[in-house]
């Protein structure tokens, strides 16, 4: 589905999701995805989603990483990746960022959302004991 790209050519802090990895010598990856079935999509779907995010990102490696995460999350949620892409196309870029963050967090535990600022209210009695 997605080929490995040398990150030196496309500097980014986002890594691609390689769904074709096996446990050969990397037990951590194996046990993290032990019960997951590898996901496969057609090259047309993959290319369409990657092309959309390349238009927005101006970074091919970052676009491929986000596209693979969107495809993975869509299929794990039982949603057609093309219908997800159609919904993304309807949104302005400012709204797309927020929606994309929440969409990708569907596959994460509720206590570890990424890209969401969570500032819990501190009890006034605890707050007064903390030095500024």
Phi first, then psi: what are they for 121, rounded to 5°? -75, 130
Nearest alpha carbon to residue 65 among 84, 86, 91, 46: 46
Side-chain half-sphere of 26: how many Cα atoms within 13 Å?
A: 8
Q: What pLDDT is stored for residue 10 in this prediction?
A: 47
DSSP string, 35-59: TPPPP---HHHHHHHHHHHHHHHS-
Q: What pLDDT is stored for residue 45 in this prediction?
A: 92
Distance CA 2, CA 38 (A): 13
In the chain, what are the domain boundaries? 27-127
**pLDDT tens, residue order, the chain (132 aa):** 444 444 445 455 556 655 555 545 555 554 555 556 667 888 899 999 999 999 988 888 989 999 988 998 898 888 999 999 999 999 987 788 888 888 888 877 666 667 666 677 788 888 888 766
Distance CA 122, CA 37 (A): 42
């Amino acid at each position: 589905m997605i080929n490995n790209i040398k990150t030196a050519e496309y500097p980014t802090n986002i890594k691609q999701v390689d769904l074709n990895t096996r446990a050969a010598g990397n037990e951590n990856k194996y046990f993290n995805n032990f019960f997951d079935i590898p996901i496969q999509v057609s090259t047309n779907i993959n290319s369409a989603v990657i092309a959309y995010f390349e238009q927005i990102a101006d970074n091919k490696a970052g676009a491929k990483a986000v596209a693979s995460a969107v495809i993975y999350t869509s299929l794990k949620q039982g949603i057609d990746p093309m219908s997800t892409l159609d919904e993304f196309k309807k949104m302005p870029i400012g709204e797309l960022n927020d929606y994309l963050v929440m969409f990708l967090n569907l596959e994460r535990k509720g206590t570890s959302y990424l890209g969401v600022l969570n500032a819990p209210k501190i009890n006034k009695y605890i707050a007064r004991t903390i030095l500024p």
